[in-house]
């Protein structure tokens, strides 16, 4: 028999993927754990029992779809907004705000349905939250006070247009450009016009007066007809074709309300409806977009392809493009993602244009008018590559980042120059693709997202060495913890004894939590579980909120809870001096009780009034809630010996020396470690927190792994800084 002393100085790798169990050659192996459940890694390398969950609110079982959105109004006012089917609940400091908008309700009404919540996206600027979904007319949420909130559709000044059903015609008149490029005017000449009283109409036609000025077929094709009075008044349409013998003009698109005999009409070369349509020179050079209506024969325009000269362009030598309509509508769908970036509001993708990005005018967030393509005018670009790129998220950063199902793109800005219509260029970076519906977050300048198939956690960051963006798989050593995530949130460290943390809610109700210390290249995952299932997560400043599904009285209920470092149980209520505690949200559940730091026997929450009585009255503090299991298991022992591996060799742990910090309860390989010192009245007092080394000897049994399992028999504090263990090895 050979005796070996092993020392694990830290746990900075966290839980290691079972597929790496044989990779004893990896440097990370020596600092890893086979199991890290309900613990997180500290920046110094120790591992600590996770915080308990404080109960905030029960939604019962009426709602099953949830979204938590953090909303920071000022340095003193921040909120967690919880969206359910057609309702928004407002929580400030963990307290539900009531009598919203003087309605007597503890919620505000919204048009957001349960079917939209999973892929509801958002962005915020000051007091305004923008909510987007491809089936939702884009909403803005405005905070007026703690209990006064406005939820309404955005009043856009201008919505970009697109020819979903592009149609062209060749108007029978001449146009003359004032210049060959830039902002110009286009003047129509040799124009025949007409107005009068219609003889009749149908869904897409109008019969002109019998003495119409148009005497030949298609003479008015491409012109505009406006119903000025009578049935259908206020509508303007293009004339697609005209039959002189019957006086019937066919229009496009169809009328909303068909004109009838007696309706008044007016036909001219131009009408205000021409704005944002295009003209193209046939068999030559020139393309321009109408930007402003001046008169029935004059339009202002912006040249996109320069004209050859300023000569008149005769009828038959140019065409007019029409069929343009608002890009976003109930018919065409609405934006799917949004972001504020350098003075513009950007939208990314819609149901009908999934790979297009739009940016508003500068500091005019609801105006998407492209105007004359001046530097502060609206911008638009479509991502066209050899694969489908449905935009899932927009992320503001040093560059505007565009995430799609097919890859990652940025809008490059050379030498920190601003984005303009002429410089709005989308460039591909990497080709992983991101999962729709799962939020993204920024962590130390890197954008963290879930890969499209939901099996990897990815970091996307600019690299100075290559002057481009690259990706890093954060979950490469812990892919087993990634189980088709449904939500993601990041919490930044607020002190030196914390790491940054990433919370991923998996579809199976577990949560993968990554403790990250970027400066030391530490990425340490663990798994959180609870009595129930984690459904959603969000971080409001430094508070981590979760929606948890629990089974209470045989039925599924949903709770809003938040992690609290003063608690060691879940769905907890706590307080000071008291002899009882009431937990109506946990009726029928068996709960753990900590009174004045002493663990009392478990009790079951009775029916109304849902109150339990402590064995002794608490004089200073109490907390009551659901217990959760702690499991810390080391990797199979594999000391680096000159003679090679010990795989398959029998091993026995003889003694363990555990270095702990401010700890109160721990078991090593099932053997309870004593933390209480006997003395007078000791059983009536709380277990003192211990810092130092706890030694356990006399561990029995041989196996082929030589592992140490740390667990707890009571919901008390535990922080393990390192482990030294003496092991007997041999056959």
Average pLDDT (357-370) is 96
DSSP codes of every residue in 411-426: E--GGGPPP-TTT--E
DSSP codes of every residue in 614-674: EEEEESS-EEEEE----EEEEPPP---BTTB--TT--EEEEEEEEEEEEE---EETTEEPP
CB proximity list for 140: less than 8 A, separation 6 or greater: 128, 129, 130, 131, 150, 151, 152, 153, 154
d(CA 362, CA 421): 11
Tell me the CB-side half-sphere exposure of residue 515, using CA atoms within 13 A. Answer: 27
- Cβ distance 612 to 606 under 8 Å? yes
- Cβ distance 633 to 707 under 8 Å? yes
Chain centroid to CA 673: 44
Please report which confidence band the pLDDT of residue 177 belongs to, taking 50, 70 and 90 as the band edges.
very high
d(CA 520, CA 500): 12
Is the predicted pLDDT of residue 377 greater than 80, yes or no? yes
Average pLDDT (454-477) is 90
Pairing, β 522-528 against β 533-540: unpaired
For 29, list phi and psi in degrees, rounded to 5.
Answer: -55, -40
Please report which confidence band the pLDDT of residue 731 belongs to, taking 50, 70 and 90 as the band edges.
low
CB proximity list for 507: less than 8 A, separation 6 or greater: 454, 483, 484, 485, 486
Q: What is the pLDDT of residue 278?
A: 93
Is the predicted pLDDT of residue 679 greater than 70, yes or no? no
Q: Which of 692 and 522 is assigned the larger pLDDT?
A: 692
d(CA 665, CA 719): 10
- Cβ distance 415 to 399 under 8 Å? no
CB proximity list for 106: less than 8 A, separation 6 or greater: 89, 96, 97, 98, 99, 100
Pairing, β 224-229 against β 264-268: antiparallel
Please report which confidence band the pLDDT of residue 496 belongs to, taking 50, 70 and 90 as the band edges.
confident
Over the stretch 95-121, which tens digit does the pLDDT of each residue have?
Answer: 999 999 999 999 999 999 999 999 999
**SS3 state of residue 427:** strand
Q: What is the pLDDT of residue 371?
A: 86
Average pLDDT (477-503) is 93
Please report which confidence band the pLDDT of residue 412 belongs to, taking 50, 70 and 90 as the band edges.
confident
For residue 368, give Cα distances in angstroms to 136, 159, 299, 407, 593.
18, 6, 20, 26, 58
Q: Which residue has tokens 């500091």?
A: 363
Pairing, β 719-729 against β 651-663: antiparallel
Is the predicted pLDDT of residue 415 greater than 80, yes or no? no
Is the predicted pLDDT of residue 166 greater than 60, yes or no? yes
Is the predicted pLDDT of residue 292 greater than 70, yes or no? yes
Other beta carbons within 10 angstroms of residue 276's beta carbon come to 18
Average pLDDT, the chain: 93
- Cβ distance 383 to 426 under 8 Å? yes
Is the predicted pLDDT of residue 315 greater than 60, yes or no? yes
Over the stretch 571-621, which tens digit does the pLDDT of each residue have?
Answer: 999 999 999 999 999 999 999 999 999 999 999 999 999 999 999 999 999
Average pLDDT (121-128) is 91
Q: What is the DSSP letter of 465?
A: T
Other beta carbons within 10 angstroms of residue 331's beta carbon come to 10
Over the stretch 624-667, which tens digit does the pLDDT of each residue have?
Answer: 999 999 999 999 988 766 666 777 788 888 889 999 999 999 99
d(CA 365, CA 377): 11
Sign of CA dihedral 594, 598, 603, 605: negative
**SS3 state of residue 219:** coil
Of 389, 390, 393, 371, the closest CA to residue 380 belongs to 371
**SS3 state of residue 361:** strand
For residue 183, give Cα distances in angstroms to 88, 275, 304, 372, 729.
47, 14, 10, 7, 86
Structure tokens at 35: 């199991």
Average pLDDT (333-352) is 96
DSSP codes of every residue in 95-137: EE--SGGGSSSSSEE-S--HHHHTT-EEEEETTEEEEEETTEE
Q: What is the pLDDT of residue 105?
A: 96
Over the stretch 197-251, which tens digit does the pLDDT of each residue have?
Answer: 999 999 999 999 999 999 999 999 999 999 999 999 999 999 999 999 999 999 9
Compute, in degrees rounded to 10, the torsion defined by CA atoms 458, 527, 490, 116.
80
d(CA 300, CA 698): 92
d(CA 595, CA 601): 11
- Cβ distance 552 to 589 under 8 Å? yes
- Cβ distance 344 to 325 under 8 Å? no
Q: What percent of the chain has pLDDT over 90?
A: 81
Q: What is the pLDDT of residue 323?
A: 84
d(CA 668, CA 670): 5
Q: How many residues does the chain have?
A: 731
For 240, list phi and psi in degrees, rounded to 5.
Answer: -85, -40
DSSP codes of every residue in 167-218: EEE--SSEEEESSSSSEEEEEEES---EEEE-SEE-SSEEE--TT-S--STT
Q: What is the pLDDT of residue 641?
A: 66
- Cβ distance 117 to 136 under 8 Å? no
Rounded CA Rg of the chain: 34
């Amino acid at each position: 028999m050979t005796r070996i002393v092993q020392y694990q100085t830290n746990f900075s790798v966290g839980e290691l993927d079972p597929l790496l169990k044989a990779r004893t050659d990896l440097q990370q192996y020596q600092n890893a754990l086979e199991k890290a459940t309900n613990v997180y890694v500290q920046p110094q390398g120790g591992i600590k029992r996770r915080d308990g969950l404080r109960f905030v609110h029960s939604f019962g079982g009426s709602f099953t779809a949830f979204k938590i959105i953090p909303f920071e109004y000022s340095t003193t006012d921040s909120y967690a907004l919880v969206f359910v089917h057609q309702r928004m609940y407002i929580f400030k400091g963990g307290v539900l705000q009531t009598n919203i908008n003087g309605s007597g309700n503890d919620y505000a009404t919204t048009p957001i349905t349960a079917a939209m919540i999973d892929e509801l996206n958002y962005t915020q600027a000051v007091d305004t939250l923008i909510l987007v979904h491809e089936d939702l007319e884009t909403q803005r949420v405005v905070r007026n006070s703690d209990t006064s909130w406005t939820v309404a559709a955005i009043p856009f000044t201008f919505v970009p247009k697109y020819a979903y059903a592009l149609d062209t015609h060749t108007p029978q008149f001449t146009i003359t450009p004032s210049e060959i490029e830039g902002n110009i005017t286009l003047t129509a000449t040799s124009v025949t016009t007409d107005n009068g009283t219609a003889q009749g109409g149908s869904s897409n036609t109008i019969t002109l007066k019998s003495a119409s000025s148009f005497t030949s077929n298609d003479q008015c094709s491409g012109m505009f007809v406006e119903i000025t009075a009578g049935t259908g008044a206020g509508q303007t349409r293009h004339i697609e074709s005209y039959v002189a013998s019957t006086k019937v003009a066919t229009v496009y698109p169809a009328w909303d309300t068909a004109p009838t005999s007696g309706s008044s009409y007016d036909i001219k070369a131009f009408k205000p409806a021409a704005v944002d349509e295009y003209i193209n020179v046939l068999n030559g050079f020139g393309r321009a977009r109408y930007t402003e209506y001046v008169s029935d024969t004059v339009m202002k325009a912006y040249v996109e392809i320069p004209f050859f000269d300023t000569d008149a362009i005769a009828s038959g030598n140019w065409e007019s493009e029409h069929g343009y309509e608002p890009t976003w509508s109930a018919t065409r769908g609405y934006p799917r993602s949004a972001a504020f970036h350098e003075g513009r509001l950007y939208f990314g993708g819609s149901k009908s244009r999934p790979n297009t990005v739009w940016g508003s005018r500068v500091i005019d967030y609801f105006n998407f008018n492209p105007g004359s393509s001046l530097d502060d005018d609206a911008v638009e670009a479509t991502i066209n590559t050899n694969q489908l790129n449905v935009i899932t998220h927009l992320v503001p950063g040093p560059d505007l980042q565009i995430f799609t199902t097919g890859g990652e793109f940025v809008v490059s800005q050379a030498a920190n120059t601003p984005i303009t219509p002429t410089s709005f260029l989308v460039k591909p970076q990497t080709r992983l693709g991101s999962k729709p519906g799962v939020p993204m977050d920024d962590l130390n300048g890197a954008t963290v997202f879930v890969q499209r198939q939901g099996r990897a956690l990815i970091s996307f960051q600019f690299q100075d060495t290559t002057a481009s963006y690259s990706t890093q798989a954060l979950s490469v050593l812990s892919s087993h913890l990634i189980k088709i995530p449904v939500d993601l949130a990041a919490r930044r460290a607020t002190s030196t004894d914390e790491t940054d943390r990433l919370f991923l809610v998996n579809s199976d109700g577990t949560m993968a939590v990554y403790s990250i210390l970027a400066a030391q290249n530490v990425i340490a995952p663990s798994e959180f579980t609870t009595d129930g299932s984690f459904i959603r997560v969000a971080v409001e400043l430094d508070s981590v909120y979760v929606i948890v599904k629990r089974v209470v009285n045989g039925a599924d209920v949903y709770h809003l809870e938040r992690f609290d470092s003063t608690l060691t149980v879940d769905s907890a209520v706590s307080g000071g001096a008291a002899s009882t505690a009431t937990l109506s949200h946990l009726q029928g559940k068996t709960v753990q009780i900590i009174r004045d730091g002493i663990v009392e026997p478990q009790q079951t929450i009775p029916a109304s009034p849902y109150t339990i009585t402590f064995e002794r009255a608490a004089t200073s503090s109490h907390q009551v809630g659901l217990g959760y299991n702690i499991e810390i298991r080391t990797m199979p022992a594999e000391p680096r010996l000159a003679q090679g591996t010990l795989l398959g060799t029998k091993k026995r742990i003889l003694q363990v020396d555990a270095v702990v910090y401010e700890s109160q309860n721990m078991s090593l390989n099932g053997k309870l470690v004593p933390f209480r010192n006997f003395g007078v009245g000791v059983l009536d007092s709380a277990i003192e927190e211990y810092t130092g080394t706890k030694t356990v000897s006399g561990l029995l049994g041989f196996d082929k792994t030589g592992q140490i399992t740390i667990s707890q028999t009571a919901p008390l504090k535990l922080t393990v800084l390192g482990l030294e263990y003496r092991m007997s090895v041999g056959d």
